[in-house]
A and B are shown apart, each in its own frame.
Chain A
Amino acid sequence: MTATQQVKSALTPEKFANEIRRLVLIESKRAGVGHIGSALSITEIIALLYSSVLNIPAPNAPDRDRFILSKGHAVLAQYAALYLKGFITREELGTFCNDGTALCGHPEIAVPGIDFATGSLGMGLSFGIGSAVAARKTNSSRKTYVLISDAELNEGALWESVLFAGHHGLSNLIVFVDQNGQQALGYTKDVLDTASVENKFKAFNWDVHSVDGHNCKQMQDTLKKLDCESGAPHVLVCKTTFGRGVSFMQNKIEWHYLPMTKEQFEQAMKELDT
Chain B
Amino acid sequence: MRKAFVKKLVELAEREPRIHLLTGDLGFYVVEPFAERFPARFINAGVAEQNMMGMATGMAESGLIPFVYSIATFATLRPYEFIRNGPVLHNLPVKIVGVGGGVEYSHHGPTHFGLDDVGALRVQPGLSIITPCDSEQLNTAIEKTWDAPGPAYYRLSKNEGITVPGLNGRFEIGKIDFVANGQDALIIAMGNAAPEAQKAELSLAQKGISATVALVSSISPRPEDLLIETISRHRYVFTVEAHYINGGLGSMVSEVIAENGLNARLTRLAVRQVPKGMVGSEQYLCERLGISAKDITDKVVSCLNLAAR
User: Which residues of A line the B interface, CB within 8 A?
Assistant: 66, 109, 115-120, 123, 125-135, 137-138, 144, 157, 160-161, 163-164, 167
Contact = CB atoms under 8 A, between A and B. Distances in A.
A121 to B, nearest CB: 11
B41 A129 contact: no
Given A126-B51, A133-B43, A160-B51, A120 B58 contact: no
A135 B63 CA distance: 10
Contacts of A134: 58-59, 61-64
Given A133-B43, A137-B20, A161 B85 contact: no
Contacts of B59: 130-131, 133-134, 137
Interface in B274-300: none
Contacts of A119: 85
Contact of B85 (A123, A125, A128, A167): A123
Contacts of B60: 130
Scoring B40, B41, B85 by chain A CB atoms within 10 A of each residue's CB, the highest score goes to B85
A99 B46 CA distance: 43
Nearest to A117: B89
Interface in B51-82: 51, 53-64, 66, 81-82
B40 A130 contact: no
Nearest to B64: A134
B148 interface: no
Given A135-B62, A164-B46, A123 B55 contact: no
A126 B60 CA distance: 12
Contacts of B50: 126, 157, 160
19 contacts: A116-B61, A117-B85, A118-B85, A119-B85, A126-B53, A128-B58, A129-B54, A130-B56, A130-B61, A131-B61, A132-B58, A133-B58, A134-B58, A138-B62, A138-B63, A157-B50, A157-B51, A160-B46, A163-B46
Nearest to B49: A160
Contact of B41 (A128, A135, A137, A157): A137
Given A157-B51, A161-B51, A131 B90 contact: no
B179 interface: no
A115 B57 CA distance: 11
A126 B46 CA distance: 13
Contacts of A161: 51, 54-55
Contacts of B40: 137
Contacts of A116: 57-58, 61, 90
A130 B58 contact: yes
A115 B51 contact: no
B264 interface: no
B62 A126 contact: no
Scoring A130, A131, A138, A164 by chain B CB atoms within 10 A of each residue's CB, the highest score goes to A130
B45 interface: yes
A132 B61 CA distance: 11
Given A133-B43, A157-B51, A164-B51, A126 B64 contact: no
Contacts of A66: 58, 61
Given A131-B62, A137-B20, A160-B50, 11 more contacts: A109-B89, A126-B51, A126-B55, A127-B55, A129-B51, A129-B54, A130-B54, A130-B59, A134-B59, A157-B82, A161-B55
Interface string B260-276: 00000000000000000
Contact of B62 (A130, A157, A164, A167): A130
Contacts of B64: 134, 137-138
B191 interface: no
B57 A130 contact: yes
Range of interface residues on B (Cβ < 8 Å)? 20 to 34
Contacts of B41: 137
A167 B54 CA distance: 17
A125 B52 CA distance: 11
B151 interface: no
Contacts of B55: 126-127, 129-130, 133, 161, 164
A126 B85 contact: no
Contacts of B20: 137
B21 to A, nearest CB: 12
A157 B40 CA distance: 25
Contacts of A129: 51, 54-55, 58
B98 interface: no
Contacts of A132: 58
A-B pairs with the 3 shortest C-beta distances?
Answer: A130-B58, A126-B54, A134-B62
Interface in B21-56: 40-41, 43, 45-46, 48, 50-51, 53-56
A123 B82 contact: yes
A131 B62 CA distance: 6
A127 B60 CA distance: 10
B58 A164 contact: no
A128 B60 CA distance: 11
A164 B57 contact: no
A123 B86 contact: yes
A163 B48 contact: yes
Contact of A160 (B43, B48, B58, B90): B48
A233 B57 CA distance: 19
Nearest to B94: A130
Scoring A128, A138, A167 by chain B CB atoms within 10 A of each residue's CB, the highest score goes to A138
Contacts of B85: 117-120, 123
Nearest to A146: B58
